[in-house]
Homo-oligomer: A and B are copies of this chain.
């Protein structure tokens, strides 16, 4: 079932078959029709490897992720996949890249298999992938200057959230941080610190508990926080998963949220609005993050003339639900979110949102 057999069956040369299949070059209508018939009948489809060998394009995008755990990544991949497919590309994913050596191994293994790379590696500087022979790369929340990148405004989101809590009168606000070394986590922590600093030193004091982005960490943090002699009145978790774990711990201890203590998260994973109480959080446009990165990569692939490297930051949105106790119960318009794709209607639960627009183009 090679192009050769098709050519023979249609009594033409391979060149003509190729021309018909790729719509390159002129072919008589009748010939074209005949060839198409044969292709259909023989169920021929060209061999990908052979094709990419000569065209030097694979129609495949590589996606390197630090992990594949949780709803965040399924959303991200969803954004990437839908956008890639639209552009006629396949997606090669690869999760759990802890150390630099592993990243390099994958980079090597994928040579000649992908046309470009989307790399998310928050633990690591991008130096590992420095010298990769001109393969276009888009970084997700990375810190390389040399590559295109799409960032999420972690800092701004955290700042807005903590200010929100401060605005509600909270002073003893704890932060449940993400894993050490993780860049996103670090930025959220920085936002927390800076927001706290705007309040008089005597009244507000940093209180950071180490977490790791998993539900369990939040669950364990609950008792730790309650056992202090000056327990916080609000806890800002570095992501929703931990906030949900925290919610569970408080619930078990009989601590009311938000009555006794406010709890907030970060990411706005789809489930956040269905927790009890509904979680106040910072919305990260996850799928959009993926699709934006993909679009950027595709555009760099098509226009080979190297545009300047671009760094873009996606704005986050403060989403006030019940768990922070800050919800305005009257006069809130139902679901005013313009960014949410209409494919996922959540029309019943209303959110109060504030766009925290510190978006920037560096």
Interface residues of A, Cβ cutoff 8 Å to B: 1, 43, 45-53, 58-60, 68-71, 73-74, 77-78, 81-82, 85, 90-96, 108-113, 131, 133, 214-216, 218-220, 241, 244-245, 247-248, 251, 270-271, 273-278, 344-346, 348-349
Contact = CB atoms under 8 A, between A and B. Distances in A.
A186 to B, nearest CB: 24
B112 A241 contact: no
A245 B219 contact: no
Contacts of A43: 131, 133
A49 B45 contact: no
A340 to B, nearest CB: 12
Nearest to A348: B219
A133 B1 contact: yes
Contacts of A71: 70-71, 74
Contacts of A59: 109
A56 to B, nearest CB: 9
Contacts of A94: 81, 85, 90-91
A77 B215 CA distance: 20
A81 B68 contact: yes
Contacts of A74: 68-71, 73-74, 77
Nearest to A62: B90
Nearest to A250: B276
Contacts of A273: 215, 248
Contacts of A218: 274
Given A71-B70, A244-B271, A45 B82 contact: no
9 contacts: A43-B131, A47-B111, A81-B93, A85-B94, A90-B94, A91-B92, A93-B93, A215-B274, A275-B275
A70 B219 contact: no
Contact of A90 (B109, B133, B216, B275): B109
